[in-house]
């Protein structure tokens, strides 16, 4: 290993004198030198209060639970009280926050072939503000919950009979009752491992100024499954396995400019998940609708185009991203209609990014750094989409070789 390390040192000194290609100097890929390891550590924070609906309009998170009249269209048991009977109107808002880390290891089998693994982990929070007010029904103080509701044992009475209207706590109690069995609507926090990836990178073509890298990867679905009894929790990952195929092209241009392009296709594998299966138009699926389903998440395609400009050991770049996803498919072994779960699951997201990076390879080759180090900082924002989230992202990345 020491011999390989010294060879890498000498090679870097030559590269520093002759001009190291931008893709290598700024670690635009995880390709490792032969017989050595590449280590990349990345931290990302992102947040959003908005998503894009099926029409591509930006809407506030939680809007599906906001301004909902809790009348007989939601609770059929209110039918005897007439069309205007209501337990109240909801008010809801949400904000997603996420911190995610990734540790990537790669080993250079040859100068053109690297094998590696990515370990992702993180925390996702949903800050929820939920309340209910304005109902014209209240609790019947004589209602016996141990006996089935009937004409003489009704759970609610009109507020005109002197009972107080139901409040938020009362509605939470209904949601957590045996019929619905939901957890209370409240802020959530999920911390866990995400789905790791194993794969390889192969430099299929290389010239003095350009390179083409083909990579494949397999996502191992180990992330915790989404909780069917929680209306507002956010999983850290899909928890399913997938196959990735990616092509990356790098080109050094004149005047310190460079071009980077990437295209990726992902194939999602079928798995089994536990879901509540709502009927068409049903807002609250009862506990009895819970079922083990076969799930095939829609395959995806992503594209990236970037132009960079280098100044000595610094590089700044602007990126454009696009992600397109096909619709999800669910199958019930007992023939349940699952179309409500598949609705509005296809979509796209468009983002832009500004990035700055510093390469310490030259400083390391001169003995001013203990090891080769490449550092980058980037900000990414979403400017349009469909059935996706409007993330704002900030991430910090450190890459080294040993």
Q: With 0.75 as the threshold, say if the pTM is over it.
A: yes
Q: Does pLDDT of 2 surpass 70?
A: no
Q: What are the pLDDT digits (tens) for 138-177?
A: 988 888 877 777 777 888 899 999 999 999 999 998 899 8
Q: What confidence tier does 12 reach under pLDDT thresholds 50, 70, 90?
A: very low
> Do residues 229 and 182 make contact, with C-beta atoms less than 8 angstroms apart?
yes
The upper half-sphere exposure of residue 372, i.e. CA atoms within 13 Å in the direction of its Cβ, equals: 30
Domain-located, residue 157:
no
Domain-located, residue 390:
yes
Q: What confidence tier does 17 reach under pLDDT thresholds 50, 70, 90?
A: very low
Q: Does pLDDT of 98 surpass 60?
A: yes
CATH number of 122's domain: 2.40.160.40
> Do residues 114 and 31 make contact, with C-beta atoms less than 8 angstroms apart?
yes
Q: Does pLDDT of 11 surpass 70?
A: no
d(CA 345, CA 256): 42
* Average pLDDT, integer, range 172-195: 92
pLDDT of residue 21: 66
pLDDT of residue 9: 43
Per DSSP, helices labelled H in 130-175 are 168-175
Which range among 2-6, 164-168, 300-304, 366-370 has the greatest average pLDDT? Answer: 300-304
pLDDT of residue 147: 74
Q: How is residue 37 written in tokens?
A: 């390891």
Name the residue with tokens 């050094």. Answer: 252
pLDDT of residue 269: 96
Residue 239, sorted as left (phi over 0), alpha (psi -120 to 50) or beta, turns out to be left
User: Domain range holding 300?
Assistant: 2-61+97-126+189-401
Domain-located, residue 26:
yes
In the chain, the N- to C-terminal Cα span, in Å, equals: 9
Domain-located, residue 84:
no
Q: Does pLDDT of 19 surpass 60?
A: no
Domain-located, residue 89:
no
Domain-located, residue 159:
no
Parallel, antiparallel, or unpaired: how do β-strands 89-108 and 113-133 relate? antiparallel
Give the chain's radius of gyration (CA, Å).
27
pLDDT of residue 20: 58
Q: What are the pLDDT digits (tens) for 316-363?
A: 999 999 999 999 999 999 999 999 999 999 999 999 999 999 999 888
115 CB-near residues (< 8 Å, 6+ apart): 106, 107, 109, 199, 200
Phi, psi for residue 15 in degrees, rounded to 5: -60, -40
Q: Does pLDDT of 181 surpass 80?
A: yes
Domain-located, residue 341:
yes
* Average pLDDT, integer, range 38-66: 95
pLDDT of residue 278: 94
d(CA 206, CA 191): 41
Number of domains the chain contains: 1
Q: What are the pLDDT digits (tens) for 99-127?
A: 999 999 999 999 999 999 999 999 999 99
Domain-located, residue 272:
yes
Q: Three-state SS for 4? A: helix
Q: Percentage of residues in the chain with pLDDT exceeding 90?
A: 73
Q: Does pLDDT of 5 surpass 50?
A: no
Q: Does pLDDT of 396 surpass 50?
A: yes
Q: What confidence tier does 402 reach under pLDDT thresholds 50, 70, 90?
A: confident
């Amino acid at each position: 290993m020491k011999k390989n390390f010294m060879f890498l040192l000498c090679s870097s000194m030559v590269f520093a004198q002759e001009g190291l290609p931008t893709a290598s100097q700024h670690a635009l890929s995880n390709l490792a030198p032969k017989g050595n390891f590449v280590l990349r550590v990345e931290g990302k924070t992102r947040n959003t209060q908005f998503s894009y609906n099926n029409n591509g309009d930006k809407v506030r998170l939680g809007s599906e639970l906001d301004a909902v009249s809790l009348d007989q269209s939601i609770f059929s048991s209110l039918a005897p009280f007439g069309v205007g009977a209501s337990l109240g109107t909801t008010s809801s808002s949400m904000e997603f926050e996420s911190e995610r880390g990734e540790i990537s290891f790669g080993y250079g089998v040859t100068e053109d072939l690297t094998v590696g693994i990515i370990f992702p982990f993180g925390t996702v929070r949903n800050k929820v503000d939920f309340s209910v007010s304005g109902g014209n029904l209240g609790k019947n103080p004589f209602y016996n919950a141990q006996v089935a509701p009937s004409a003489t044992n009704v759970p609610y009475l009109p507020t005109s009979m002197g009972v107080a209207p139901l409040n938020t706590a009362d509605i939470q109690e209904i949601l957590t009752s045996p019929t619905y069995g939901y957890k209370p609507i409240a802020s959530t926090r999920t911390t866990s491992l995400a789905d790791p990836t194993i794969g390889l990178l192969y430099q299929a073509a290389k010239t003095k100024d350009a390179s083409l890298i083909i990579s494949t990867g397999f996502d191992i679905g180990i992330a915790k499954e989404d909780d069917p009894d929680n209306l507002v929790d956010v999983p850290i990952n899909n928890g399913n396995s997938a196959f990735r195929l990616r092509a990356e092209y790098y080109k050094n241009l004149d005047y310190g400019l460079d071009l980077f392009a990437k295209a990726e296709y992902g194939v999602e594998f079928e798995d089994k998940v536990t879901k509540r299966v709502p009927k068409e138009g049903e807002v609250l699926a009862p506990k009895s609708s819970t079922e083990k389903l076969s799930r095939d998440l829609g395959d995806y395609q992503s594209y990236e185009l970037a132009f960079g400009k280098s100044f000595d050991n610094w590089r700044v770049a602007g990126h454009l991203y696009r992600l397109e996803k096909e619709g999800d498919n669910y199958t019930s072994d007992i023939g349940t209609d699952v179309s409500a779960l598949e609705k509005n699951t296809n979509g796209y997201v468009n983002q832009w990014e500004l990035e700055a990076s510093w390469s310490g390879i030259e400083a390391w080759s001169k003995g001013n750094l203990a090891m080769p180090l490449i550092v980058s900082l980037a900000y990414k924002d979403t400017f349009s989409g469909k059935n996706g989230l409007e993330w704002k992202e900030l991430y910090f990345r450190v890459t080294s070789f040993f």
